[in-house]
Structure 1
Amino acid sequence: MLKRISRLRLAKVNAIGIASVFQAGDTNEIDMKTKVFAVQRPIATYRDDEGNFHKKEYQVFQQPAVMPLPETGVQSAFCHEMPSIQVRSVKVQGLSTSSVFQAGSASVVLGDSRLKHIRQIESPNSQSSRS
């Protein structure tokens, strides 16, 4: 891995999400993983049988992550005339789930994000019965 000094004069970051990384500098490896199970309801109701999550019921959590093919022997040469990476200013609105912003060098960057979002929406008939 190339080792250089990273100089970041100004960074404005609005939001960094789950398992995300904002890095100024070199690193050997960044490995982000996220597995999320979310249930959305119009009214917060909790049932006695909830809280027992069985990932075998949801295929998205069991499938292996799709990894890129290994390098195919591409030869390259770099000549770094400056011993540093210089960033004057960066403005980041948001880094979402398992994402990376890096001003520097990295040997390996991995990311794996899985999400199962269930929306339980009431039918129009059930809403009128509560009024």
Structure 2
Amino acid sequence: MLKRLSHLRFAKINSIGISSVFQAGDTNEIDMNVKVFAVQRYIPLYEAKEGSFNRDEYQIFQQPAVKPLPETGIQSAFCHEVPSIRVRSVNIQGVSSSSVFHIGSASAVCGDARVKHIREIPFSNSQSSQS
């Protein structure tokens, strides 16, 4: 891993989401993983059996993550004339689920986000007449 000194003068971050990383400096490996199950209802009525989540019912949580093949046969050489990374300021509105904002060097960065969002909204007659 290339090692350089990271200088960050000012960072303003509004929001860092679930399983996300703000990293200033070198790191060997960053691995983020998040699985989200959300139910949104127009009228918040819930049955007594709800709340126990069975991930076997939802295929998105069972499938293996798709990862790129490792690089093969590529040779590279780097020469850093300035041995530091300098960032004056950064203003971040948001770093979302399983995301990275990184200043520095990293050997490996992996991220995985899976979201199952169910919206239960009542069907109205006005929608069917416009079809």
Q: Could you state the TM-score of these two structures normalised by the residue count of structure 2?
A: 0.90
Alignment of 1:111-122 (within 5 A): 111-122=111-122
Report the secondary structure of 1:60's partner residue: helix
Query: Is 1:40 matched up with 2:40?
Result: yes
Q: How many residues align?
A: 125
Quote how far apart the aligned CAs of 1:93 are.
1.5
Give identity over the alignment, percent.
Answer: 70
Gaps of 5+ in 1: 126-131
**What is the alpha-carbon distance in structure 1 between the residues aligned to residue 25 and residue 45 of structure 2?**
46
Alignment of 1:44-59 (within 5 A): 44-59=44-59
Runs of 4+ in structure 1 over 4 Å off: none
Quote how far apart the aligned CAs of 1:75 are.
1.0
**What is the alpha-carbon distance in structure 2 between the residues aligned to residue 124 and residue 3 of structure 1?**
60
In the TM superposition, what whole-angstrom CA distance separates every residue of 1:66-104 from its partner, at most 9, and x where no partner exists?
A: 000101221111111122111112121111111000000
Letter of the structure 2 residue corresponding to residue 106 of structure 1: A
Q: Which position in structure 2 is the counterpart of 1:17?
A: 17
**What is the alpha-carbon distance in structure 1 between the residues aligned to residue 9 and residue 23 of structure 2?**
13
**What is the alpha-carbon distance in structure 2 between the residues aligned to residue 52 and residue 13 of structure 1?**
34
Report the secondary structure of 2:97's partner residue: coil
Alignment of 1:1-131 (within 5 A): 1-124=1-124
